[in-house]
Amino acid sequence: MRSTRRLSRRFRLGTVLGAVSAAALTTLVVGPAQASDAPQVAAVTFEDNFDGPSGAPVDGGKWLTETGDNVNNHERQYYTTSTSNAALDGQGNLVITARRENPANYQCWYGTCEYTSARLNTSGRFTQTYGHFEARIKMSRGQGMWPAFWMLGDDIGNVGWPQSGEIDVMENVGFEPSAVHGTIHGPGYSGSAGIGSAYSIGGAFADDFHTFAVDWSPGKIVWSVDGNVYQTRTPADLNGNQWVFDKPFFLILNLAVGGYWPGDPDGSTPFPNTLVVDYVRVTDTPEH
């Protein structure tokens, strides 16, 4: 599907603790010898609608704002905690902004950093095994931009990547404005060997908001865009490798600049460059 792909999207993550929310099965007793399953009602286990005044930071009770660069993928940005890189817009959105700047002499793997951006995760705040994971996002635009909504296994601090597992709900690279990718990574199928597929539309994903989701249940992960299912993965797809998607994962939102896969920005890339997130919502019950 692609000739160059990241080695690992993880960087400088310590061991974190999370709570697992699992779907509960309710039964309705109708007689001494009869029982039937009542319809499951999906419970919302995590939700952020990013309501708040313009310029406000994200809710620190829900999101950890990471700092640092990422040598693993040869990305060009330095992630900061500044509201100039991640803030509410006062209209119910989170705006992650990549800027061509270096306001604090940040140092990256290649020397003095050229860009700043933001990466947020829920480690230590929210984790879950199985359910429906969804975000409504308006994509960034331009060569070298790499936005993503994804998840990592909560045990990454103990077992490392890719043993932790990674579920990419949505990734986009700027040179493919009409396509997004959904991928899983684990032991024996990571980096360029990650297992996934792409979904394309007629226009650019940066032109409007779109909803990206996975439905994750025991032994199955299903990807959809705007409610349209385009991919299902099960252990049968792994060529005998280990299925590691049976434990708590945490959420990540980020906007990377450059790297092995998207390539570096060029003169056509607009800065500041924004990734706009309307909401992130998780329920305990898969829809597919």
CATH code: domain of residue 242: 2.60.120.200
User: Is 231 part of any domain?
Assistant: yes
User: Is 288 part of any domain?
Assistant: no
Residue 66 designated active-site: no
Catalytic residue among 66, 114, 134, 166: 166
User: Is 9 part of any domain?
Assistant: no
User: Is 33 part of any domain?
Assistant: no
- What range does the domain containing 233 cover? 40-283
Tell me the mean pLDDT in the region 62-78.
97
Pick the closest to residue 137 from 151, 122, 147 (CA basis).
Answer: 147
User: Is 84 part of any domain?
Assistant: yes
Identify the helix (H) or strand (E) that includes residue 55. Answer: none
Catalytic residue among 47, 171, 176, 287: 171
Identify the helix (H) or strand (E) that includes residue 159. Answer: helix 156-159
Identify the helix (H) or strand (E) that includes residue 114. Answer: none
> How many domains are there within the chain?
1
User: Is 20 part of any domain?
Assistant: no
Condensed to tens digits (0 to 9), the pLDDT of residues 3-21 reads: 334 444 544 333 333 333 3
pTM: 0.88
Q: Is the peptide bond before 162 cis (omega within 30 degrees of 0)?
A: yes
User: Is 5 part of any domain?
Assistant: no
Residue 114 designated active-site: no
- Other C-beta atoms closer than 10 Å to the C-beta of 165 total 25
State the residue for tokens 């003095």: 112
Condensed to tens digits (0 to 9), the pLDDT of residues 248-278 reads: 999 999 999 999 999 999 999 999 999 999 9
Condensed to tens digits (0 to 9), the pLDDT of residues 144-173 reads: 999 999 999 999 999 999 999 999 999 999
User: Is 272 part of any domain?
Assistant: yes
Pick the closest to residue 74 from 119, 112, 110 (CA basis).
Answer: 110
